[in-house]
A and B are shown apart, each in its own frame.
Chain A
């Protein structure tokens, strides 16, 4: 084609190009809008509408089923009749209605007139007052007159209005009289089908109607969409945006639509109801309502992001879920999120973030278990954890070890505790994946030999005070099962149900006969503090025979294989090699050798022993001579391990372990030595964390607790702050944990460790301590804990005598008082004041109810089946006794105490005190108080035992 002059291109061609480009731009813009409009969460909400519709329809169907069809039909027929009747009176009705209309019109007009006069009178009054004060008499008079006139008119009008209103009332009444029967029936019908109708309205509102469509159309959806991002703004909590704490915003409900609504429990995620909607979280009546606490404050994750599934930093619980998510949501590891969502099994950990400084948390069972395990395994010995500083050392004292076990045993034990006792809480330092090559083993053997040498060289001498003669092992076994040892210990071979306890406070006793001597054992169970002053092991007030029998049984528990083990003797070459290595840390090898040659053989062994004890941190768990409290913990601090950046965990060459905090911790707990595998480390640099051989469940619990140790900032308004009483109770709980009170007693909803044993007959087990502060006097409790004496003489299980300090007893007493909101002391000096004839009635009740047939102590020689009634006054609070008599089962569901007054509804003894239960109970209580002793039973002090 020939070009025009001055043109480089053909215009027609240019136009075509322009057309194509314009169309492309149009499509690109449309594409942009579509891409912007289609958000993953919208699909979720659309499905949620269907689910809700289904839910409503189900409810409609259910309520329809409840409708009494016969009654409905009857009412409908009578409604028809009533309506026919009304039709016959149609002329009357229409006349009255017309009249009502007339009157209403008049009322309306009158209201208008009154309004005018009212406002005018106000205006004139104002003017009158104004001119009157201004002394403009003339004008004032004019306005005064006008005001009066207006007021008169207003009053007149109001009067007329009243007349019209009463006329209207009487007309309405007439109309109502005619229509009455029809309306009554209508109301009844509505009562029957009202619920269904309301649901139908809800269903209609929920349905995808035309209006719904209009509201959610692109562009129009800026006005008032129904499909939209839903959020809660949490004023009390913050999100850490690094440079600033911002108000927390959670948008999780955009997809988790029904999380706080009941009725969607069986739906798939994300449409599911929260599993603890009523009690723990999400629901409006739960402890942590959605509107106040949101979701991510407990679960972690990025709550404000709704881009897609991944942006919220969801984290799968396990491999299977991970694969599912990858398939369904193209899931990937959250990218650079410091606090991704906690996998569900660890979610309880986050409780500690706000609930700090508490012994345990109701409902957080896994967390409590994790904490208990950390306590039992003594993790806090080597790893500093904030708030755990003043706990006792988890292992036994080694100050007098020479008087307890043989060096040979100690060596074998340190070498492999689990081959002696598979439930040993002493972890295994040796024979691990990172130190079991022949070279390292030889060095380890030298270390163990030296450590034991050091321990025995520095051990105080100890001679048991008791002599074991011989005993009945069968009876010993019986005793161990029944007097309460199983509150803290377990042994292989004891009978069901005694073997079913859940306690780990004391050592597992299997094999103990191969470990210690009869004399030592007997001395220990008689007086634990004779060997170790600060032991938490209590005294059981054993008789000589009981002690012998128990010892006989325990001595029969032997581990023959372990006994026959011979530990390799010390290789001086290995010892010297290790010492030279140690000495040459800051000096040349030659100087180190010189230093070594100045030491005698024994000095060398002791030097290595002390060094090895420092190296492995034995002193963290055991008291050892030469190591005082100032020694630092050897492990890294765990106070904020839940916030430790993942980069700071050393994954070594363990490529199969995913790079997350929880995967590192679980793998670490499972096999601490794994990080050394494939890394050619020097002997002295090997990972020293020992292996506890934890089971997966234990690992999960511990990991959950550790993950909760975060350093997130939580504003004071968002934290649970203990009030004075709760703080007092917490102190007591710490003492109760230390001495393992929870091992035997059900305390305030805490299930006792021995609970399983006494499941069928709780009355034969340790008493439950529910609202104990309401039951007993604080002074009594103090006295009792100091001088334990049997209260329920019919129990075989014993309350032992503990070596409490004054502070500890006081804390325990205050704990029970605080837990029951009870003030501390009651006045016991008052004398009983009898009403006339009341005392006789009381005696009659006492005899009629045969109280002494069970509470026989001091009355008959029968075996008592209940506590001594002579101690009632000093022990029990008066208000509690009344409540108890009123309905004992309401307080202790298991008690065999008869419910004489049937919750205060019936008279227990007919014809006495006007058959008034309250009077009868009061009289009986007075009688009990009167007969009670005025001092405490003697009991025995711990130190006198």
Chain B
């Protein structure tokens, strides 16, 4: 059983699996939002987690002081996501029945005093938070390590947990993309949300139906491309950033065959059986064209097929910027699959210009 789990947790399967379950959940969102589903899921999660914790290797990873906050994080992420969807679906059902959303009922529109209703309860939160932090810091000593030794880097050398998603991206992308371009686009994209998303529905009340595309695409980026990568980076990446199953001992000498090749090598040597052209543009022409197509023809194609409605409601500038962001986001899973299935290293390999895509 453990061996099967170890095998299935390899990103090839687990990532595919989680994409499948994600869209399945979106499709049957009412089921997911129900309390019954939540209760069963919670019980199942607790049982599975408890069973997994019986394994000494898994337990040692989980209770490693660095990783404890990530467990908290996961619990909170699951809870808050479910809670929001739960409320949204209730409202959707009410609205479908012609009732106002819960937030719109007369008793919920009544105004209350900031003191004590808000300030007092905020104080409670501060105190409770302080008590929690004190207890945590006493019970779980801070994971401070020895003075930094430049000749003895830790293995695995891991970023702070909140950056582990980025670090995981480094497996698939050149540092300047994974470490600079994508993070910048993430920040820019998050800032741009209010300007792109001009849909007036859903303001002041929870709803899923009214903002189906917005919520789905955000959750896809957030849960699958960020949180899930953090999980992989935290629990499943060991020494040398090699993949280890949850029950697999972190043997620093584990060897994984990884011979990745570039698109140009596949094209010229394997496919055409020719030496690589000396001219780098000639050499990389296919990759360059593919990237160009990805950002030009694909948007046009998408627009023709699904996007007419959006294009009209949003206007061209907003629409194409959104498409650009979505495509960039989708480039990550795309590259992941290319790596897994054809050992692709780079689509465009131009170290002469430090341009590796």
Contacts and interface: CB of A to CB of B under 8 A. Distances in A.
Interface of A: 6-9, 11, 14, 17-18, 21-22, 24-25, 28-29, 31-32, 35, 241-243, 335-338, 645, 647
Contacts of A336: 145-146, 149, 152, 154
Contacts of B252: 647
B147 to A, nearest CB: 5
B116 A242 contact: no
Interface string B136-173: 00100000011111111011000000000000000000
Given A6-B113, A28-B135, A31-B138, A18 B120 contact: yes
A14 B123 CA distance: 11
A539 B252 CA distance: 58
B60 interface: no
Given A335-B145, A336-B146, A22 B127 contact: yes
A17 B117 CA distance: 13
A21 B128 contact: yes
B131 interface: yes
A548 to B, nearest CB: 63
Contacts of B121: 9, 14
Contact of B116 (A9, A21, A645): A9
Contacts of A6: 111-113
B199 to A, nearest CB: 30
A127 B120 CA distance: 78
Contact of B134 (A7, A14, A29, A337): A29
A645 B147 CA distance: 16
Contacts of A335: 145-146
Nearest to B251: A655
Nearest to B139: A35
A412 B275 CA distance: 57
Given A336-B145, A338-B152, A14 B112 contact: no
B147 A24 contact: no
A18 B152 CA distance: 50
Interface of B: 111-113, 116-117, 120-121, 123-124, 127-128, 130-131, 134-135, 138, 145-152, 154-155, 252
Nearest to A655: B251
Contact of A337 (B116, B146, B148): B146
A335 B145 CA distance: 8
16 contacts: A9-B121, A17-B124, A21-B124, A25-B131, A28-B130, A28-B134, A31-B134, A31-B138, A32-B138, A336-B152, A336-B154, A337-B146, A338-B149, A338-B152, A647-B152, A647-B252
A22 B128 CA distance: 9
Given A18-B123, A25-B131, A336-B152, A7 B145 contact: no
Contacts of B130: 25, 28
B111 A242 contact: no
B135 to A, nearest CB: 6
A932 B135 CA distance: 93
A645 B150 CA distance: 13
Contacts of B131: 21, 24-25, 28
Nearest to B123: A18
A660 B121 CA distance: 55
Contacts of A29: 134
Contact of B149 (A11, A14, A17, A242): A242
A25 B111 contact: no
A35 B128 CA distance: 20
A32 B139 CA distance: 10
A243 B111 contact: no
Contacts of B146: 335-337
Contacts of B111: 6
Contacts of A22: 127
Given A25-B127, A242-B148, A242-B149, A7 B138 contact: no
Contacts of B116: 7, 9, 11, 14
B127 A24 contact: yes
B149 A35 contact: no
Given A29-B134, A338-B152, A18 B113 contact: no
Contacts of B150: 242-243
Contacts of B155: 647
A9 B124 CA distance: 13
Nearest to B114: A6
Contacts of B154: 336
Contacts of B112: 6-8
Nearest to A305: B146
Nearest to B112: A8
A154 to B, nearest CB: 68
Given A7-B112, A8-B117, A645-B151, 14 more contacts: A7-B117, A9-B116, A9-B117, A14-B116, A14-B120, A17-B124, A24-B131, A25-B130, A29-B134, A31-B135, A242-B147, A242-B148, A647-B152, A647-B252
**Can you list the 5 inter-chain pairs with the closest CB atoms, starting with the nearest?**
A28-B134, A21-B127, A8-B112, A8-B117, A28-B131
Contacts of A243: 148, 150
A415 B96 CA distance: 92
Contacts of A241: 147
A810 B112 CA distance: 104
B157 to A, nearest CB: 12
B152 A645 contact: yes
A17 B131 CA distance: 14
Contacts of B152: 336, 338, 645, 647
Nearest to A651: B253
B304 to A, nearest CB: 52
A9 B115 CA distance: 11
A7 B112 CA distance: 5
Nearest to B155: A647
Contacts of B113: 6-7
A363 to B, nearest CB: 33
Interface-central residue, B111, B123, B152, by most chain A CB under 10 Å: B152
A234 B119 CA distance: 55
A925 to B, nearest CB: 66
A243 B151 CA distance: 11
A63 B103 CA distance: 90
Contacts of B128: 21, 24
Nearest to B111: A6
A369 B151 CA distance: 33
A500 to B, nearest CB: 49
Contacts of B151: 242, 645
Nearest to A334: B146
Nearest to A242: B149
A155 B277 CA distance: 116
A24 B124 CA distance: 11
A28 B149 CA distance: 36
Contacts of A11: 116
A125 to B, nearest CB: 66
Contact of B138 (A8, A25, A35, A647): A35
A650 to B, nearest CB: 9
A336 B252 CA distance: 15
A18 B124 CA distance: 7
A244 to B, nearest CB: 10
A32 B133 CA distance: 11
A190 B176 CA distance: 86
A242 B147 CA distance: 8
B338 to A, nearest CB: 34
A757 to B, nearest CB: 52
Nearest to B134: A28
B258 to A, nearest CB: 21
